[in-house]
Amino acid sequence: MTSAVITPELALPASFWTRERKTGAVLVALGLVASVWFTLASPSSPATFYLGTSTQSGANFEIDGKIGCLVFGLIALAAGAILLATGKHYGLLVSISLAAFVLSALIWQVSTVHGSVPLGSLSTITMEASLPLIFGALAGVMCERSGVVNVAIEGQLLTGAFFAALFGTIAGSYWAALGAAAIGGALISLILAWLAIRFLVDQVVIGIVLNTFALGLTGFFYEQVMRTDTEAYNNPGGLPHWTIPGLSKIPIVGPAIFSGTLLTYVALALVVVLTIALFRTRWGLRTRAVGEHPAAADTVGIKVLGLRYVNVLVAGLIAGFGGAYFSMVTATSFTKNITGGLGFIALAAMIFGRWNPVGAFLAAVFFGFAKALSSLLQALQSPIPSEFLAMLPYIATIFAVAGLVGRVRAPAADGKPYVKG
Amino acid sequence: MRGITKRFGDLVANDDIHLTVEPGEIHALLGENGAGKSTLMNVLYGLLQPDEGEILVDDKPVKIKGPSDAIRIGIGMVHQHFMLVPVFTVAENVMLGAEPNKAGFLDHATADRLVREVSQKYGLPLEPDAIIEDLPIGIQQRVEIVKALTRDVDLLILDEPTAVLTPQETDELLSVMRGLKESGKSIVFITHKLREVKAVADQITVVRRGKIVGTAAPTAPESELAEMMVGRSVILEVPKQAAQPGAPVLAVRGLVVADDRLHRAVDGVDLEVRAGEVLGIAGVQGNGQTELVESIMGLRPSLAGTVTFLGRDITDWSTREVLRSGVGYIPEDRSVDGLVKEFSVAENLVLDLYRSEPFGGRFALNPKAIDESAKGRVEEFDIRVQSEQQPVGALSGGNQQKVIVAREMSRPLKLFIAAQPTRGVDVGSIEFIHRRIIAERDVGSAVLVVSSELDEVVALADRIAVMYRGRILAIVPPGTPREKLGLLMAGITSEGAS
């Protein structure tokens, strides 16, 4: 007797045009645009980059516009070409190529207006713009890893922002403001959890309803209460910046990370804590099990519904806390629809980050950078119309989620209610 | 278990059941699909709460409110559909729910050691770091058993453990069960396969329609057990004349089809079905049978090869064209592909013909014609309904399947393809469907039957093709010894020793 073992192999004769190669081709095209168009359009005047936060402080370097555009354009081209030729090292080559393309574009714009770029400020703005996205995306990760879809991030952020302004003003303390913000987010979560887990309502629909609900309710109270006496109800004050001596002087990234408000430090800590909790603790293992195969968790005695309630509520606390950013960091008061849809960008960041805390963080920073870049170019009075620049973060979102992510795998039971039996 | 009763609405799934399992015995719970065996065991494992009755362990009444209670008093269960998280490792699945901790963090080293210890002790080799979804079904089942054993169970419930295994894997499992018995564990073995019961059980309890109909010793003859299961003598063989094969109707040449994960599920299949014969495809599920049939039916594109039907190349025709040209098709999963559950019986009976006269007019359907034809077919195919307007989802599995058979056999056919035609169907309906399939053959159609139930293939087929990893390993006559068929299904061909 002989045993005939036939190994199944990949069915499709590997077509030349894999996803990697297609992306490579697009990057080559971008590189060509940069090294030809940008170089020709750019004047031979210098673009100046400062490492610190202002044009006066810190070291700086200058680069000739034409040369800079050409050099970085060629780097973008080369990285794209390598990807096109080999189809390997996808993540690395895409990052290099896109970064070089962005730099080339930046140098072109900066040298055109004879301007200068404080890199320290750029990174600070990036970090600040990322903050609500980090909190929102982490809230999404918490929720969805346990199998409950969280489309209500926007509503959680908005309610958090509103509670922070209202109760922070009344109590006169930013600690109270932050606590109230977290509770505000958790209230939205409570409705989400209750309807989704207890009554098995479609989770995407509840999420959208809750967002509308939060928008309407906070808008109503803003008009009826806050506007009547701004001093008494809508004057929470800004969160103080805590600068860590020494570390905040690190070129480029120092001011962004070590001179932020409490929210900056909490956001960074949460990324680390959640990563460890999710992948190294009993709670994390059970959360992931419940999100992937709730029946399996149930049969080993894990309380599926209880765990989902807890996770959804904690997600609300996180998002609500982050909501304080809107009324206490970028502004010092609440206004109607102050979140302006960033909760949905946070949702995109969670998907782009593949339901992973670190991934979600990087995705949030990516969107934050797009935002920072657009405001920098507007400040430099770049010839590109400001309306187009304002679109940049959203265009980046679409490209990132649609183009670069490809097929990602959500937790298998995400959005599916669990019914025993 | 004493006086257990469990109701789902009007259905009494368990009716006053008394069951005693002695220490160190293998107790077989024998019964047909839907007899209430799994319900009873889910009650015992705390997944369901009984409406009446009590459970005693060592003569003391216990309350089992959930699986954690069951585990604590020493009851473990291996479910029919595995309760494993596919993206987790073996060790993660085993420790889930009882995770060893070190300073607040998961202690993977201890978990790995536990898996190795238990798997060594009971002779169930496992790699703790392997990811579940990469493992074959047989190994996944081993993980389930080890998972239960690490929880120090005294009583292990195995719910239809052999349904997904090859004959060889089944033999292995049976010897594992004997080993567990040796080390003092009790086992409740749920099955409907008589051969396995006789091979391994110490005590047999037969369940029918939610009631215990009797107990038997493993020495009892198979026919007696079968009679207890179904309540009357079953005809184990389908009465049929010898086939009178005519010209080839369906010819498949070098067909290659990819599955959803883009692996070669069908890897160069050649086969031919002639008029007036039944070709049965045997094989363990997941060896490309699904993809083969779907490709013939135009539901899945082929990568290479041709499908010829009555001399015409129908490779990658649309499903509608294939059906129109004279092919009848029973899909393997009736609830997903065969029926629209919310539609009425009458509507489901014309899903194929709603566009043509007399059912569909120029603009609107003709409900009168649809209802009249439905009445006729319900009668002819013995479909048990309260009314033709009842949603099909409310029918039993057997009656649902008969709706599909009725629909597909109401067109003039040259070829009939039946995938898992009697899965989850009661014995009465099985017999009926088998007779209809043979009748279809006898009027000169070519018939292709795909089934993971070897008994079914042997009973129906005039020739048996054994499929393994996307290829037809051999085509043998139905009189071939089961042992040899079993080896073929496991991919082992005996070369030279014909």
Does pLDDT of B176 surpass 60? yes
Strand pairing category for A46-50 and A60-64: antiparallel
What is the pLDDT confidence band of residue A3, given thresholds at 50, 70 and 90? very low
In sequence order, what are the residues at sequence separation of 6 or more whose Cβ sits closer than 8 angstroms to the Cβ of residue A271?
A: A134, A138, A357, A358, A360, A361
Residues A30-53 have a mean pLDDT of 83
Q: Which residue of A has its CA nearest to B498?
A: A1
- The region, left, alpha or beta by phi > 0 then psi within -120 to 50, assigned to residue B400 is alpha
Q: Which residue of B has its CA nearest to A285?
A: B96
Chain A CB within 8 Å of residue B260 CB? no
Q: Which residue of B has its CA nearest to A292?
A: B85
Counting the structural domains of chain A, the total is 2
Tell whether A413 is covered by a domain.
no
Position of tokens 């206490």?
A: A328
Within 10 angstroms of residue A235's Cβ, the number of other Cβ atoms is: 16
Tell whether A378 is covered by a domain.
yes
Quick one: A200 and A281 in the same domain?
A: yes
DSSP state of B77: E
Direct distance between the N- and C-terminal alpha carbons of chain A, in angstroms, rounded to an integer: 46
Closest by alpha carbon to A108, among A76, A137, A132? A76
pLDDT at A58: 58
Tell whether A166 is covered by a domain.
yes
Q: Enumerate residues 220 to 279 of chain A having a beta carbon within 8 A of any beta carbon in chain B.
A: 276
Question: What is d(CA A344, CA A337) in angstroms, rounded to the nearest whole number?
Answer: 13
- The region, left, alpha or beta by phi > 0 then psi within -120 to 50, assigned to residue B231 is left
The whole-angstrom distance between residue B11's C-alpha and the CA centroid of its chain comes to 23
Question: What is d(CA A48, CA A119) in angstroms, rounded to the nearest whole number?
Answer: 10
Are A66 and A7 in contact by the 8 Å Cβ rule? The answer is no
SS3 (DSSP) at B73: coil
SS3 (DSSP) at A305: helix
Are B204 and B224 in contact by the 8 Å Cβ rule? The answer is no
Chain B CB within 8 Å of residue A15 CB? no
Cross-strand bridge partners of residue B418: B330, B449
Q: Which residue of A has its CA nearest to B49?
A: A421
Quick one: A124 and A95 in the same domain?
A: no
Contact B83 A11 (CB under 8 A): no
Helical residues (DSSP H) of B297-396, grouped into ranges: 319-324, 345-349, 367-380
Contact A295 B493 (CB under 8 A): no
Question: What is d(CA A157, CA A342) in angstroms, rounded to the nearest whole number?
Answer: 9
The CA-based dihedral angle spanning residues B472, B476, B481, B482, taken in that order and rounded to the nearest 10 degrees:
30
Quick one: A98 and A124 in the same domain?
A: no
Direct distance between the N- and C-terminal alpha carbons of chain B, in angstroms, rounded to an integer: 52
Q: Which residue of B has its CA nearest to A14?
A: B262
Contact A286 B258 (CB under 8 A): no
Question: What is d(CA B377, CA B374) in angstroms, rounded to the nearest whole number?
Answer: 5
Chain A CB within 8 Å of residue B101 CB? yes
Are B466 and B488 in contact by the 8 Å Cβ rule? The answer is yes
Contact A1 B86 (CB under 8 A): no
Does pLDDT of B163 surpass 90? no
Nearest CA-CA distance, residue B247 and chain A, Å = 32
Residues B373-378 have a mean pLDDT of 91
Are B445 and B276 in contact by the 8 Å Cβ rule? The answer is yes
Mean per-residue pLDDT of chain A: 87
Nearest CA-CA distance, residue A284 and chain B, Å = 9
Phi, psi at residue B322, to the nearest 5°? Answer: -65, -45
Within 10 angstroms of residue B104's Cβ, the number of other Cβ atoms is: 11
pLDDT at B275: 94
Strand pairing category for A46-50 and A116-118: parallel
Interface test with B, best of A3, A287, A299 (most B CBs within 10 A): A299
Position of tokens 């058993």?
A: B145
**Residue A64 CB-half CA count within 13 A:** 7
Tell whether A150 is covered by a domain.
yes
Last residue of some domain: A114, A132, A157?
Answer: A114
Highest mean pLDDT, choosing among A46-60, A235-249, B463-477? B463-477
Quick one: A349 and A214 in the same domain?
A: yes
Highest mean pLDDT, choosing among A268-272, B77-81, B224-228, B390-394? A268-272
Quick one: A359 and A399 in the same domain?
A: yes
Chain A CB within 8 Å of residue B213 CB? no
The whole-angstrom distance between residue B403's C-alpha and the CA centroid of its chain comes to 19
What is the pLDDT confidence band of residue B171, given thresholds at 50, 70 and 90? confident
pTM above threshold 0.95 = no
pLDDT tens readout for residues B281-297? 988 777 889 999 999 99
Cross-strand bridge partners of residue A62: A48
The CA-based dihedral angle spanning residues B419, B424, B428, B433, taken in that order and rounded to the nearest 10 degrees:
-10
Chain A CB within 8 Å of residue B456 CB? no
pLDDT at B230: 63
Q: What is the DSSP string of B374-433?
A: HHHHHHHTT---S-TTSBGGGS-HHHHHHHHHHHHTTS--SEEEEESTTTT--HHHHHHH
Closest by alpha carbon to B299, among B342, B253, B257? B257
In sequence order, what are the residues at sequence separation of 6 or more whose Cβ sits closer than 8 angstroms to the Cβ of residue B363?
A: none
SS3 (DSSP) at A372: helix
Quick one: A268 and A347 in the same domain?
A: yes
Does pLDDT of B220 surpass 90? no
Last residue of some domain: A63, A81, A114?
Answer: A114
Quick one: A237 and A298 in the same domain?
A: yes
DSSP state of B287: S
Give me the CATH number covering residue A324: 1.10.3470
Whole-number CA gyration radius for chain B: 25
Q: Which residue of B has its CA nearest to A298?
A: B67
Contact A299 B265 (CB under 8 A): no
Question: What is d(CA A299, CA B41) in angstroms, rounded to the nearest whole number?
Answer: 13
- Alpha carbon distances (Å) from B289 to B256, B283, B286, B453, B465: 12, 8, 7, 13, 11
Q: Enumerate residues 20 to 49 of chain B having a beta carbon within 8 A of any beta carbon in chain A.
A: 42, 45, 47-48
Tell whether A416 is covered by a domain.
no
Chain A CB within 8 Å of residue B494 CB? yes
Quick one: A258 and A319 in the same domain?
A: yes
Residues A113-137 have a mean pLDDT of 88
Closest by alpha carbon to A420, among B240, B45, B276? B45
Residues B143-150 have a mean pLDDT of 93
Last residue of some domain: A66, A89, A114?
Answer: A114
Quick one: A54 and A199 in the same domain?
A: no
pLDDT tens readout for residues A192-210? 999 999 999 999 999 999 9
Residues A27-50 have a mean pLDDT of 85
Closest by alpha carbon to A134, among A419, A413, A352? A352
pLDDT tens readout for residues A247-277? 877 777 777 888 888 999 999 999 999 999 9
Q: Which of B85, B106, B256 sits opposite A289 (nearest CB)?
A: B85
Nearest CA-CA distance, residue A86 and chain B, Å = 22
Range of the domain at A90: 15-114
Q: What is the DSSP string of A311-323?
A: HHHHHHHHHHHHH
Question: What is d(CA A297, CA B147) in angstroms, rounded to the nearest whole number?
Answer: 12
What is the pLDDT confidence band of residue A8, given thresholds at 50, 70 and 90? very low
Quick one: A167 and A77 in the same domain?
A: no
Question: What is d(CA A346, CA B482) in angstroms, rounded to the nearest whole number?
Answer: 59
- Alpha carbon distances (Å) from A283 to A274, A307, A318, B241: 11, 9, 17, 64
pLDDT tens readout for residues A350-377? 988 889 999 999 999 988 998 888 888 8
- Give A12's contacts in chain B (Cβ within 8 Å): 258, 262, 303
Sheet holding B248-258, edge to edge: B264-274, B248-258, B302-309, B312-313
Position of tokens 């080390």?
A: B183
Phi, psi at residue B408, to the nearest 5°? Answer: -70, -30
Closest by alpha carbon to A370, among A350, A345, A347, A353? A345
Q: Which residue of B has its CA nearest to A287?
A: B96
Tell whether A381 is covered by a domain.
yes
In sequence order, what are the residues at sequence separation of 6 or more whose Cβ sits closer than 8 angstroms to the Cβ of residue A298?
A: A304, A418, A420, B47, B67
Are A185 and A159 in contact by the 8 Å Cβ rule? The answer is yes
Nearest CA-CA distance, residue B490 and chain A, Å = 9
SS3 (DSSP) at B256: strand
Mean per-residue pLDDT of chain B: 87
Tell whether A9 is covered by a domain.
no
Quick one: A109 and A164 in the same domain?
A: no
Closest by alpha carbon to B383, among B342, B420, B433? B433
Q: What share of chain A is helix, strand, coil (3-state, %, to 5)?
A: 70, 5, 25
Tokens of B85: 């998280």
What is the pLDDT confidence band of residue A55, given thresholds at 50, 70 and 90? low
Question: What is d(CA A231, CA A165) in angstroms, rounded to the nearest whole number?
Answer: 11
What is the pLDDT confidence band of residue A406, given thresholds at 50, 70 and 90? low
Tell whether A256 is covered by a domain.
yes
Helix B367-380 × helix B397-408 angle, to 10°: 110
Quick one: A35 and A141 in the same domain?
A: no
Nearest 5 degrees, angle CA B292-CA B276-CA B284?
Answer: 30
Position of tokens 């008494």?
A: A232
Sheet holding B446-450, edge to edge: B327-330, B415-419, B446-450, B278-282, B463-468, B471-476
**Residue B232 CB-half CA count within 13 A:** 4
Strand pairing category for B75-78 and B155-159: parallel
Q: Enumerate residues 280 to 319 of chain A having a beta carbon within 8 A of any beta carbon in chain B.
A: 280-282, 284-286, 288-289, 292-293, 295-302
Interface test with B, best of A2, A3, A18, A300 (most B CBs within 10 A): A300
What is the pLDDT confidence band of residue A312, given thresholds at 50, 70 and 90? very high
Strand pairing category for B302-309 and B463-468: unpaired
Residue type for position B314? I
SS3 (DSSP) at B340: coil
- Alpha carbon distances (Å) from B102 to A275, A281, A369: 18, 9, 40
